[in-house]
Structure 1
Amino acid sequence: MKILAQVALALLLGSAAHAAETANPLTDSDSWQAIRADVAGDIQISEAGDLFEVVAPYRASHAAAVPVTIRQTDPSARITGATVVIDENPSPVAAEFTFGEAMLPLDLEMRVRVNQYSNVRVLAETDAGTFMDGRFVKASGGCSAPATRDPEEALASMGEMRLRLFGKDETGAMSMPRREAQVMIRHPNYSGLQRNQITHLFIAAHFLDQIEVLQGDELLFRMTGGISISENPVFRFSYADNGTEALTVRAHDTDGNWFEEVLPKDQQS
């Protein structure tokens, strides 16, 4: 009976946590109405329903690194792309994604800057049309928040990449047919709205505008990003492992720098 009670409590706590994550639905937004045509043209956008959900905190603990997860809840659908929009940010389109087949069903977490209380919405592209879900997030100052590292130190390590893999049992064998990975790229991702903490002068915008992750020659995802992506971008995602020995990450920034690294799966950082 004690074990059953513990299981019941765990289920209850899990349900409560999920309810807390999803208790902040999109709100009415004049800003969205103003930018909708620029973001999506005149295409029809339907509610996501059971297709996918967006998970984001109602009150963010760090406005410059707000976790946002796009999680597919209907595994039979094909989500081929997604646009992440933060209504009240100076540059509302945070990222545009293209997904390879190995990413489906989609489960992707990223971190974004939120400049003031705002809807964070995702427009998902499928064979059946475009669908939208999102969350209202209470955060402010994310786009102008000071960088966490000294500029010289940040630039010295710019382009360094790390890979972590999850989903192995104690023997090292795969416990599931899919893997979970986390890719981190060192880059200050300056928004153009931050000040140097010594000179108090604005730091020029300098951010990653293209990121591509592959396994072998197979695309996992490609992202075109803007100033709303957090410093030192981190992506955590699940994918179907095709057996290649490494993931390849390519990135380009607005200063014209290209970074590329082959990250072996058996030599994680």
Structure 2
Amino acid sequence: MRHAILAAACIALLSSPAPAQDNPLTDSASWQDMKIDVLGERPVSDAPAPFAVTAPYRAADAAMVPLEITQTDTSVPISAATIVIDENPAPVAARLEFSPAMLPLDFALNLRVNQYSNVRVIGETPEGLFMAGRFVKASGGCSAPAGGDAAQALAAMGQMRLDMADGAARVSTPRRTAEIMIRHPMYSGLQRDQVTQLFISAHFIDHLEVWQGDEMLFSLDGGISVSEDPVFRFAYTENGAPTLKVIATDTEGNSFSQELPKLAEG
């Protein structure tokens, strides 16, 4: 069952979302109410963002909605991004920080969307804040039942897998694409135990770092909106380190750390 969940997560990331022009951001009273709390007094530029956001207009699975951030203007470095789902119970889904090795940015993950909502990305650059996003039709993502047996999920918690998009072969360019999968139930606090019908306490990864050697590629501070058994797909510039190291903590005080070997040169 757990392998099936991981496979579904990969499929969600690899599936093609609706074209960007089909679901632009819409007016949102919720965003107007919260943007000071999220951004403080920092203004968001009216200029086009140096990145594009893709997500499906109508999600196939509200508990596993693929989101991709792709840099479109490589002259503007993107150092961080905040993902906000306007109508979710905890709207700030994640804050990400990126090293120069992650640029030009190409980053994807799966999210929970609880009701029809804007999903917006606020990118931080030396030129200020920029925003892009998509309107997604989905409902019930935060309260959707967990995908497997709770005892098995907790027993497997922290297991990780690395897939390299270029397989075993070292390509001529130092730019590579990796996909890291982590087993964790990512309980939102809004799901019910299917036997007792009692709410399951929130329990999720709240901090994650991915390193190659002594260089941190990216970090994530997350909440309940990141999907169960999270999957992160990202492009990065190779520095020759033989592994990618993942370090994570969750809200129950658990720590997970694993060196994930890159596939041997073919």
Q: Would the TM-score normalized by the shorter structure come out above 0.5?
A: yes
8 Å CA contact retained: 1:70, 1:107: yes
2:194 paired with 1:197: yes
Distance 1:193 1:48, change over 3 A: farther
Q: CA RMSD in A?
A: 1.4
**Structure 1 Cα separation of the partners of residues 227 and 241 of structure 2:** 29
1:18, distance to aligned residue in structure 2 (A): 8.0
**Structure 2 Cα separation of the partners of residues 47 and 254 of structure 1:** 37
8 Å CA contact retained: 2:69, 2:108: yes
Distance 1:174 1:233, change over 3 A: same
Aligned-partner residue type, residue 145 of structure 1: A
Return the match for 1:224 from 212, 221, 228.
Answer: 221
Aligned-partner residue type, residue 54 of structure 1: V
Aligned length: 249
8 Å CA contact retained: 2:210, 2:244: yes
Match in the other structure for 1:69:
68
**Structure 2 Cα separation of the partners of residues 143 and 205 of structure 1:** 11
8 Å CA contact retained: 1:65, 1:111: yes
Aligned-partner residue type, residue 165 of structure 2: F
Structure 1, residues 124-183: CA drift from partner, whole Å, max 9, x if none? Answer: 000110000000000000000000011100000000000000135xx8231533100000
Structure 1, residues 100-119: CA drift from partner, whole Å, max 9, x if none? Answer: 11000100001000000000
Distance 1:68 1:19, change over 3 A: closer
**Structure 2 Cα separation of the partners of residues 204 and 97 of structure 1:** 25
Match in the other structure for 1:56:
55
Match in the other structure for 1:12:
none
Distance 1:141 1:108, change over 3 A: same
2:263 paired with 1:266: yes
Match in the other structure for 1:14:
none
Match in the other structure for 1:125:
124
Structure 1 stretches of at least 4 aligned residues deviating more than 2 Å after TM superposition: 17-22
Aligned-partner residue type, residue 149 of structure 1: G
Secondary structure, in 3 states, of the residue corresponding to 1:229? coil
8 Å CA contact retained: 2:17, 2:55: no
8 Å CA contact retained: 2:18, 2:56: no
Aligned-partner residue type, residue 127 of structure 2: A
**Structure 2 Cα separation of the partners of residues 214 and 226 of structure 1:** 21
Distance 1:163 1:48, change over 3 A: farther
8 Å CA contact retained: 1:48, 1:132: no
Distance 1:230 1:48, change over 3 A: farther
Q: Where in structure 2 are there 5+ consecutive unaligned residues?
A: 1-15
Secondary structure, in 3 states, of the residue corresponding to 2:22? coil
Structure whose alpha-carbon radius of gyration is higher: 1
**Structure 2 Cα separation of the partners of residues 47 and 93 of structure 1:** 21
TM-score, with structure 2 as normaliser = 0.91
Match in the other structure for 1:142:
141
8 Å CA contact retained: 1:22, 1:55: no
Matches within 5 A, 1:1-269: 20-47=19-46, 49=48, 51-167=50-166, 172-266=169-263
